Chain A
């Protein structure tokens, strides 16, 4: 409300006026006059040309003294009679008085007098203080010379002395160590640390504590959380879907950088433009996550370019807030009403951020590297060894079917063995069943087991399963063997290395029947074409040497309702004996060559000869298309909901019968491509809704299409039908090359140019990222290729012409698919799947200058109303970019931390100061413009800003300077007089006292109760909270899967930050949501906070743990109270405090002992100690709720 603002200003200027407007000296322009003009005049008489009234502009002296519209002068320096300004402000006529009454923003008498005195003194202007580079003034003289400990104190004391105030006495040492510990690392000192400090009488005892804290690993955690407020860090995308994102490596980078005391200039450059540094390191790429913390809207149907633009606007505004302390965002819609920033300058700043791509990058983890290398080495070794694994003789397996000796159905189905050795089930049909079949066989060296599932008229739908449609799901098969010569029951399990079936239902592959996951299984949908027999073969990992005995086969079927087997037959297989006496290696080699040649022959016959086409012209409506060396095309830049790629090719070979589209993965694409989907859909896939071809301008018809893979019904045929809603999608097939072949209705005989158009249209953006086009004149009907493109190409070369490399490539491919090497290749595949996935993070990548996105001014800031084009440039009120520097993001970052920039160092030290004193020297941490607060100690702010730069932009040095000052070490107690004189404590005649931040409130309770985990970094965690917090009302209910083990008790900054439904405890304590850049958190006090501390699970856990610790302490009850005070408050209790607590404790203990109240739910168990424990638990709980506990004194 206006009233509110007014009261604040009055209070603020009361202090300042008391200092500066002594006697009748002329008012100071900066501290006295400009604030009046800024608040009362500039909205209509300021820098905004459009809003200006009467052609009077008052923020610049030249224009203020010029003739105005009426022909008069507003200000005549030195003359209080002539100018119209004074006449108008002193007027009592409502039509004439300024500011107009309608603005409800009248000048006070004092303000009018100030303006009058200022004009009388010649109306001197001074540049706005914040835009003048800071210099270190000589330290002021003070009377109480023994008080200052460092230069900070000289400035503070000098002002106190002018005001006739005295500093407060030093805080007591227990309070001081708690304060500095909370401030520097966000955690309280342990009782032992307090004792050590109290006992240390050396003169530098305090400095030793400070240095220990600065050097410790928790410093970076404490200060990272504050920086993350500015970075608007969160673990989800925001908006409607608010899906999870992985950007915690950026959070960990901040912690590391702050722990290492990375100089703030480097810290800045790496976050804003680390990607553009020469030979940028992985860390420097990770650092650019700062600006990837902007939100991503994944709502169906949005315009992706609009939200990209919004992210760019956000980056611009956040940069201005964080480094310049300017409300630059005001100039998005119109020239700034108060600060001299034109709307065009706003968009010049936007242009710096408008030229990025937004990649997701892998973040290899050092601790995974060894494991990864080890697996990769195993894969390489196994691959190299494949030829030596090839069976020495290749002959059909010999199968025999011994009659089962027993068949047991756990679900009590009936069974009978048929003459062919198969088993038929009937009778009861339980929802789930497991069959155990026993077979006696004298065969040794059994290498495989075959399961034939057989149809039978007695089964539903003809079988082979017993479900309504004749299907079944075999969840797991296990085999064991008891050799004859040992006791029954002493069975050895027989490992199955490999499973193969002649048919598996989609999503129910045979491999799942031998996997560990018993929720999956093998099935054979028999919906089309009636019942069918099928067979599965299970090859044993080791067979040589297996003697005969009793085989037990266990078939687990636990899927859905009655998906059990109806009829099947089990056979055992062994390799026939061999009579070849040649060395094994020779036989092996011969077998391999034989199989290989056979495969090459067959594959060569079906291979199609393709000719890759090199486009001569590439166009897209939004993206930039790049032609790569291999004639493939890579898309980058913008993308829309309807992307169209137009490619022109020179006349191809004659009689083209089909064209081939290779979709090629690429690390530059989301999820490695081949598509560019980055929101809403499956990242890295694409959706080709239409593909059309014209030759010499004539449309060419297609007959059919095939593809290597399609996401369900989204086959390539959908791209050549007339329906724009159908198309080819490969969701689930990302990261691998995918190919579609489109056959022409009739061979093309034209020799003209070929034009190919591809439309990617969906309600979200789904274009291809990298692809290549080829044609063939092969007259055969095209089928989906089953070999890689390069292998197919080699296969089309006559055998005699193949190079050694090409033959090796064919052999390598054959070895990877040879059925004889199934078990070995399955092992390799399993190894590959076990390679640990590296985490990813979001980063920026600058586009080359040749692909600069144009940046426009936007009328009223509207996305849909671009007007004039602008070039990237910095604000004219600040120093220009160095001559010759490119106008790009890296130059901008360097410019921000150029010592000539008057704002960055001031804004940064001011924010740092505010962290220690509750408010800044400039209270408006994010506004150093004309409307911002005037500094309470301008010389101190400048001195600190310069010192910060002199000290190599070191946070730790500035922090040390601040906490070792006498100002910082004062007591925070306040007398009524002082509270009356300086309620906001701007003069710092005492230390401030404020509530801990949300995360620290929780950290504190966990730490003093001994629960807090010390682990630093890693993926975000999910401490306990009610499930409904992230489900009720959330558009996409989010399962808050509570972490286990120490992750329940990690520091608050590791809690998963969900933007739309944040962790409830933090919300209650004013934590930000990550939706906006926050320079200063609100500090509220509400009943919901009380409810949280009293009743929330985290605090119940902490109270219980702390109470149990107290109960376990030696000594009497008074000693236990002392223990709790030392833990919670880092001090001893006063006598009356101890008495109050003891009396509470005694009363509760009485209730528990008498069982008036059951102690078990409180103690968490019903041990005999429960009553004693519960009484201390509820006592600890009360102490954790004290104002003092959650306050930094």
Chain B
């Protein structure tokens, strides 16, 4: 080949200037140029803050570096798992006084439905004496590492809008999710894996992919779905018949021709494309390596209670640990199926069986590896469930509970959060919050806070204004911070 590939334009010099001058618009276009060459990598630190996926400084010293959000889609019942209300037993079978139920809108029941007592026995666990339903024994065993917030409330009483609100700060699709905001704010610490990963088990998720959408942020910040069936990332495997050497040769040819074009046309976008292809190639190796649980000890597998080849919530939890070890910034695991309009007992027994051990094992495993301090683990759904019973013969429902936005329980563990602590309280029927209400916006503000981000400063300008995750709301929940 004739001449230097960099002639007549030095693409790297161009790229740097281009970063400085253009990063205000279309920031996604200039992904990953820092990965281009060794030579450039040396100078990359100077412009690191301008590479959309390079690790960036937070607003202030963070407590946590990464987040694993266990999203219990469908909305678990606070009344049956965490927020023990003996008064419900007393009221069982009788309507709850209208002055409590007020003008609340319901999805399925009428406001004069009768109260329903807790479906499970509760016990006290750990030194902190947390009161937890017996159907969550594994959680009980890590009670002293966990912070319960029993006074979360939301604005939405239907699944899709409430899930989307929890994840994006707005009840309709179109806004960026927490994971996207965090990736946008902090960048990635892995050049071989996506910064924001999504996994799911259980039923389908009402809010669907809007829950991990990048909204109006560049698509680059969207959650990347790891699939349970087939290849973990779409198209991560080479087509049938193409071996590693052919893939490498192909990339080399593509690279050669692209570099030639970069030299003649001078468009820094071409440099970005070169980098994308290299990362794609690395992803083809790193994704299977991540999914391969051979290196995990039997005791670890037993701790989680998972089988390597079989998709399960527990396996997703173990994969999440492996991801954060490898620099993934934000992991979402959705477990859907908590929507117990009928038979809370049966539904929650099954869902607890499916999730309890994995979630608790994750906390233990992170702790024993010294990762819990820098990892925030979040567990919770999109709203709570009514103290009133849902029964409807024509829908074949009995002994269930309807959607309840006024109060529900979540737990947080690790990075920057108090452990063995409980915050907030509901009234004697678990209907309304009577102490320390925490809106989902406050949870969002707190998640950003432990990562060193000020939720009021993490903004994106669009359509005439600065948007942020917490809209115009949100307060960091100071009392739960360690």
Contacts and interface: CB of A to CB of B under 8 A. Distances in A.
Residue picked from B9, B22, B206, B213, most chain A C-beta under 10 Å: B206
B205 A1035 contact: yes
B394 A1186 contact: no
Contacts of B258: 1186-1188
B145 interface: no
Interface string B233-263: 1111111111101110110111011101100
B461 A1186 contact: no
A1158 interface: yes
B224 A1088 contact: yes
Given A1096-B235, A1144-B253, A1073 B173 contact: yes
Interface in B180-207: 185, 198, 200, 203-207
A310 interface: yes
A998 to B, nearest CB: 10
Contacts of A995: 269
Given A301-B403, A1035-B208, A1085-B28, A1094 B160 contact: no
10 smallest CB-CB distances across A and B, nearest first, come from A8-B24, A301-B107, A1161-B241, A1084-B28, A327-B464, A1060-B208, A1090-B280, A1035-B204, A240-B160, A1087-B280
B1 A1182 contact: no
Given A11-B24, A1032-B200, A1094-B247, A1187 B457 contact: no
Contacts of B225: 1032-1033
B456 to A, nearest CB: 10
B352 interface: no
A1181 interface: yes
A713 interface: yes
Most chain A C-beta atoms within 10 Å of own C-beta, residue among B240, B246, B264: B246
A726 interface: yes
Interface stretch (B11-19, B419-427, B432-440, B474-482): B11-19
Contacts of B107: 300-302, 763
B466 A5 contact: yes
Contacts of B228: 1028, 1032
B40 interface: no
Interface stretch (A181-189, A410-418, A971-979): A971-979
Interface stretch (A138-146, A267-275, A872-880, A921-929): A921-929
Given A1061-B209, A1095-B235, A1140-B256, A1185 B22 contact: no
Interface in B158-194: 158-161, 172-174, 185
A1070 B264 contact: no
A752 B22 CA distance: 81
Given A1035-B204, A1084-B219, A1028 B227 contact: yes
A1139 B242 CA distance: 23
B309 interface: no
Interface in A237-254: 238-240, 242
Contacts of A1151: 245-246
B298 interface: no
B353 interface: no
B266 A973 contact: yes
A1091 B234 contact: yes
A714 B218 CA distance: 50
Residue among B235, B237, B238, B336 with the most chain A CB within 10 A?
Answer: B235
A1092 B219 CA distance: 15
Interface string B389-418: 000111100000011000000000000000
B349 interface: no
Contacts of B236: 1091, 1095
B17 A1187 contact: no
B276 A1086 contact: yes
B229 A1032 contact: yes
14 contacts: A4-B27, A5-B461, A11-B22, A297-B160, A301-B108, A338-B465, A726-B394, A1035-B205, A1060-B210, A1087-B32, A1090-B277, A1091-B284, A1186-B254, A1186-B257
Interface stretch (A194-202, A350-358, A1075-1083): A1075-1083
Of A7, A329, A1096, the most chain B CB neighbours within 10 A belong to A7
A1 B457 contact: yes
B98 interface: no
A1036 interface: yes
A4 B28 contact: no
B230 interface: yes
Contacts, number: 314
B260 A1028 contact: no
Given A2-B459, A1160-B241, A993 B265 contact: yes
B210 to A, nearest CB: 7
Interface string A1020-1032: 0000001011001
Contact of B243 (A295, A297, A1059, A1157): A1157
Contact of A1085 (B17, B31, B206, B209): B31
A295 B174 CA distance: 12
A1185 B235 CA distance: 14
Contact of B238 (A714, A1076, A1094): A1094
Interface residues of B, number: 114
B10 interface: yes
Contact of B234 (A718, A923, A1064): A1064
A1178 B250 contact: yes
A1086 B269 contact: no
Contact of A1187 (B20, B229, B270): B270
Given A973-B264, A1028-B230, A1185-B250, A299 B24 contact: no
Contact of B21 (A329, A723, A983, A1185): A983
Nearest to B403: A301
A193 interface: no
B105 interface: yes
B309 to A, nearest CB: 17
B341 to A, nearest CB: 9
B250 A7 contact: no
Interface of B: 1-2, 8-10, 13-14, 17-18, 20-32, 105-108, 110, 157-161, 172-174, 185, 198, 200, 203-210, 213, 218-220, 224-225, 227-230, 233-243, 245-247, 249-250, 252-254, 256-258, 260-261, 264-270, 272-274, 276-277, 279-281, 283-284, 334, 336, 392-395, 402-403, 457-461, 463-466
Contacts of A1085: 28-32, 269, 272-273, 276
A228 interface: no
Contacts of B463: 321, 327, 329-330, 926-927
B239 A1095 contact: yes
A8 B105 CA distance: 45
Contacts of A1032: 200, 225, 227-229
Nearest to B231: A1026
A1188 B265 CA distance: 10
B158 A1092 contact: no
A1026 B235 CA distance: 9
A9 B23 CA distance: 11
A8 B466 CA distance: 14
Given A1-B460, A973-B266, A976-B10, 5 more contacts: A299-B206, A302-B158, A1028-B227, A1187-B261, A1187-B274
A1148 B243 CA distance: 11
A1086 B239 contact: no
A1075 B24 contact: no
Contacts of A1036: 204
B304 to A, nearest CB: 21
A994 B265 CA distance: 12
A1160 B17 CA distance: 48
A1136 B250 contact: no
Contacts of A984: 21-22, 25
A1055 interface: no
A1082 B107 CA distance: 37
Contact of B160 (A299, A1026, A1136): A299
A474 interface: no
Contacts of A972: 265, 267
A555 B1 CA distance: 77
